[in-house]
A and B are shown apart, each in its own frame.
Chain A
């Protein structure tokens, strides 16, 4: 390992880089979304990073997981629908490299080792992600630039997990400046965990140009949707950094050599606003403002709207709307209904991924896919042509997976419906607080055209 690190040090003169930025966006109903993004790229060297060590140990090409809490619906009005995650712990698209040179090439052993190592690093119960709850989707969750044939894909969710300060602290410790400088100084647990929606995400990409040298790119993202109308006594949509986070940004993180920008996006149709604070953001274009952090200088600013009443009536119609709910009653059987509205004037190619725990027995013959035009509620729904891939569950061994690929017609409402029986399970297999019920993970809806 020493010689490998030294070889690379001689050959590659690249430096590790760090960049952070903050994007603030407000919608007409007053909600403010703050997206903190931290990017670290380090070429192979002797430099130690906990996530890089874990990725190297288990032979991982790509990890993407997130912790979130709150209603993802809060993100829809802010244009962040594809960034926000459903509540709980989500481990998306983790790819383990098919390497026979590793100690153990069994992907399940490496997957278990990886989740245990991450559980320790993030003080989260990720060790409950075992091959018993994990799925290997074949059609969904493709990442650009990663060849699906050269690695194994794993997807798992823990919908019952709650995100709290215990997870924020080790997550923030992975940042070079921690919470001492830069945009991370806004991390006030009282404000972040009082938000309508918050999520922390970690994306790691590892590319190995030669077998012994690997470059690592780590992106950490924290999204929080705060509501100035709910906070404070005024009940209006005026806000400032001090009002939302109870603190101001204390200067630039010196490691960001490109400079840190704070991008502010205000609704274009608002009647007018003024900025408060020492420094006003500079206008980039209509509705978009930018302000840069300076070394050693505190930054705080605010927005005062001329019409400060929240406008909760106008909601933009997103191009695709999805509603998923349970049907039926009682503890014996039920069904899942997914209704997708395609509001666009063109057809949409989609892939739907459902991972259902083993204790719900699916009946594939009950799967009905019907579609009807939006405007014409009287029309008889007709069956849609779909390609489906189904993996039945094995009790106590693996979940059931349904992957449906289809083309949604323009201006249509499509409904997928299937039914299940609840299995009779041992009393030790019930989750804690069993009377609350069971949590089923979210379905994954992939609208990026591929193939």
Chain B
């Protein structure tokens, strides 16, 4: 499944991987590129996810795999691609102070000895090359392999150190990769194209349909579909999380459930009720006048569903809810039994013997007296 698990906040990291800075030191105008291609997308998606964007450049990032030489170029086949990311050497950990899941987009510039590097679309020998020279990793991010023009007039040489520097410009060299990243981002977030389909063609024969595009990277229909999908999915996930929480609490009798967990659960339940209320209203989807502004009820339901899943996960993943902290009955038995059993067994057997003796004595006494 390509879509990344829903989270309220994501860390989006653009990485420029320079495998051979000694031959050609790559730099990029990423701040302008983010502004030109991603700013609008991130702003529109604000009601669904809070996306924090950062960038980093890594150097001497060599591949762990060896591409095959085909003619004068090097080709990576699909069976190479799962091992493309060299997790041991490359740094994709994301921020050390944030717990939001990372999404990484990588612009990879190969070494001189592996240039130019292309990606084939199938594992066969004469398979055509992928046009965008890019591939995506499900639930992780995407990679574009860039083969810069080694003789570009834009390359500047540092007079003191003879280092050749190539700065990628937002409107020129970065346009292709950034558009590919945007497409991969849509896949990662679960944006699906919305089309009327074959049924519409049958209903209105003779008409042709053109769908309006969007400069932001997502159309209003796609955003609407994603909103409704996310709302329903979040509510489903919140309910299943709460169910798991109940199972966990019921499995351990000694478990202490603190007050703030109860508050989170109530919050989640109220939010789920609110979503159900809004969505079961036949007039839902309309625009309501709240506080003087136009508020789409679907957006209100979305916000409530986000609150529901966040509260449910906060309750379930609370550090005090770990079942290992509490002793199940088997553990208690295992600890106390070896201590007390050797003492109790002789005690019981002696008591039983004493009782038997008493009974014998009584019986004997009775017989005697008779």
How far, in whole Å, are A6 and B60 apart by their CA atoms in the complex?
28
How far, in whole Å, are A47 and B53 apart by their CA atoms in the complex?
9
How far, in whole Å, are A50 and B35 apart by their CA atoms in the complex?
23
Residue of A nearest to B91 (CB): A173
> Closest 3 CB pairs between A and B?
A9-B31, A180-B60, A48-B54
B72 close to chain A: CB less than 8 A = no
Q: Determine the chain A residues whose CB is within 8 A of the CB of B63 once the complex forms.
A: none
What range describes how many residues of B lie at the interface?
20 to 34
Known: A47-B55, A181-B59, A295-B162. 4 other contacts (CB 8 A): A2-B39, A58-B97, A254-B161, A255-B59
Which residues of chain A from 139 to 194 have any CB-CB distance to chain B below 8 Å in the complex? 173, 176-178, 180-181
B216: shortest Cβ distance to chain A, in Å?
Answer: 14
B328: shortest Cβ distance to chain A, in Å?
Answer: 27
How far, in whole Å, are A391 and B161 apart by their CA atoms in the complex?
54
Q: Determine the chain A residues whose CB is within 8 A of the CB of B142 once the complex forms.
A: none
Q: Determine the chain B residues whose CB is within 8 A of the CB of A295 once the complex forms.
A: 22, 161-163
B193 close to chain A: CB less than 8 A = no
Q: Determine the chain A residues whose CB is within 8 A of the CB of B42 once the complex forms.
A: 2
B302 close to chain A: CB less than 8 A = no
Contact with B along A113-154 (1 / 0, CB 8 A): 000010011000000000000000000000000000000000
- Please list the residues of chain A having a beta carbon within 8 angstroms of any beta carbon in chain B: 1-2, 5-6, 9, 45-50, 53-54, 57-58, 117, 120-121, 173, 176-178, 180-181, 251-252, 254-259, 294-296
Which residues of chain B from 35 to 78 have any CB-CB distance to chain A below 8 Å in the complex? 35, 39, 42, 51-57, 59-60
Contact A259 B59, beta carbon cutoff 8 Å: no
Q: Pick the residue among B25, B32, B34, B95 that contacts A53 (CB under 8 A).
A: B95
Once A46-B31, A48-B95 are accepted as A-B contacts, the answer to whether A181 and B161 lie under 8 Å apart by CB is: no
Contact B163 A46, beta carbon cutoff 8 Å: no
Contact B55 A9, beta carbon cutoff 8 Å: no
Q: Pick the residue among A9, A120, A252 that contacts B35 (CB under 8 A).
A: A9
How far, in whole Å, are A50 and B11 apart by their CA atoms in the complex?
14
Residue of B nearest to A58 (CB): B97
Q: Determine the chain B residues whose CB is within 8 A of the CB of A176 once the complex forms.
A: 57, 59
B158 close to chain A: CB less than 8 A = yes
How far, in whole Å, are A63 and B238 apart by their CA atoms in the complex?
42
How far, in whole Å, are A1 and B97 apart by their CA atoms in the complex?
15
- Please list the residues of chain B having a beta carbon within 8 angstroms of any beta carbon in chain A: 13-14, 21-22, 25, 30-32, 34-35, 39, 42, 51-57, 59-60, 91, 95-98, 158, 160-163
Q: Pick the residue among A6, A48, A259 that contacts B161 (CB under 8 A).
A: A259
Q: Determine the chain A residues whose CB is within 8 A of the CB of B39 once the complex forms.
A: 2, 6
Sample of 9 A–B contacts (CB below 8 Å): A2-B51, A117-B96, A176-B59, A177-B21, A180-B60, A256-B161, A258-B161, A295-B161, A295-B162
Residue of A nearest to B11 (CB): A48
Q: Determine the chain A residues whose CB is within 8 A of the CB of B55 once the complex forms.
A: 46-48
A413: shortest Cβ distance to chain B, in Å?
Answer: 48
Once A6-B39, A46-B30, A46-B54 are accepted as A-B contacts, the answer to whether A255 and B25 lie under 8 Å apart by CB is: yes
Contact A181 B32, beta carbon cutoff 8 Å: no
Of the candidates B31, B42, B57, the one having the most CB atoms from chain A within 10 angstroms of its own CB is: B31
How far, in whole Å, are A117 and B98 apart by their CA atoms in the complex?
10
How far, in whole Å, are A420 and B39 apart by their CA atoms in the complex?
63
Contact A48 B25, beta carbon cutoff 8 Å: no
Of the candidates A176, A181, A295, A296, the one having the most CB atoms from chain B within 10 angstroms of its own CB is: A295
Contact B31 A2, beta carbon cutoff 8 Å: no
Q: Determine the chain A residues whose CB is within 8 A of the CB of B30 once the complex forms.
A: 46
Contact B161 A257, beta carbon cutoff 8 Å: yes
Residue of B nearest to A45 (CB): B31
Q: Determine the chain B residues whose CB is within 8 A of the CB of A117 once the complex forms.
A: 96-97
Contact A254 B163, beta carbon cutoff 8 Å: yes
B118: shortest Cβ distance to chain A, in Å?
Answer: 25
Of the candidates A173, A251, A254, A296, the one having the most CB atoms from chain B within 10 angstroms of its own CB is: A254
Q: Pick the residue among B53, B98, B162 that contacts A46 (CB under 8 A).
A: B53
Once A177-B59, A180-B59, A254-B22 are accepted as A-B contacts, the answer to whether A57 and B52 lie under 8 Å apart by CB is: no
Of the candidates B25, B53, B57, B161, the one having the most CB atoms from chain A within 10 angstroms of its own CB is: B161
How far, in whole Å, are A252 and B22 apart by their CA atoms in the complex?
8
